[in-house]
Amino acid sequence: MDQLHPITHAAGTEQRPPDWAVMSPARISHARRVGTLMGEWAAALGHDEGTRIRWRATGLLHDALKEEAVEALRPLVDGAEAWPDPLLHGPACANRLRAAGVDDEPLLRAIAFHTTGHRDLDALGQALYMADFLEPGRLALGQERADLRGRLPGDWHAVLVDVATAKIGILIDGFIPLSPATAGFWEVITAPVFRKSRNG
């Protein structure tokens, strides 16, 4: 992927969502904070400028259809019936980007599964999963979130597990079933921890 798609480039350099985005000013502010945080992590990890732009863009774009009507999202998602209404915006946005010509599959996967997690998320997808939860505009559990942010990107895997634990705990407390994607994600990210504990 030598050249970024214009939508990705605009999102990552100008913090500008696509024309078809349905985002309130508050939602855009959230997405910009997520993108900024991801860009900071990319820089701290030593990634080149193109990768930093791509990470910032993923953060900005992830909620581009968050405030679109469910009735408008369902036709954009194959197997929409398997997705709870509050989660449709992720796969719908990924498919809308794909239809616009974005062919960056790791970026599209990151956006599609930013709420649930997925066993095939790479570092970009993991970054979005964490940044969406940890961005400083989220005031609930503010100190705990700040502490986790402060450990990134150096303590990447441990923070990823901590964030997943917190997010899954919210689902369990609400008696909300885990999606297969979330279960698979948890299995993959905890496998190294499990092996280490078993091997002493």
* DSSP per position, 9-51: HHHHHS----TT----HHHHHHHHHHHHHHHHHHHHTT--HHH
Q: Give me the pLDDT at residue 29, please.
A: 98
* pLDDT number for residue 1: 47
The overall average pLDDT reported for the chain is 94
Residue 200 confidence (pLDDT) above 60: no
The residue ranges of every structural domain in the chain are 6-198
Q: 159 phi and psi, to 5 degrees?
A: -70, -40
Q: Please state, for a pLDDT cut of 70, what percent of the chain lies above it.
A: 95
pLDDT at 142: 86
Q: Is the pLDDT confidence value at 107 over 70?
A: yes
pLDDT at 195: 54
pTM listed for this prediction: 0.94
The yes/no answer on whether domain 6-198 falls in CATH 1.10.3210.10 is: yes
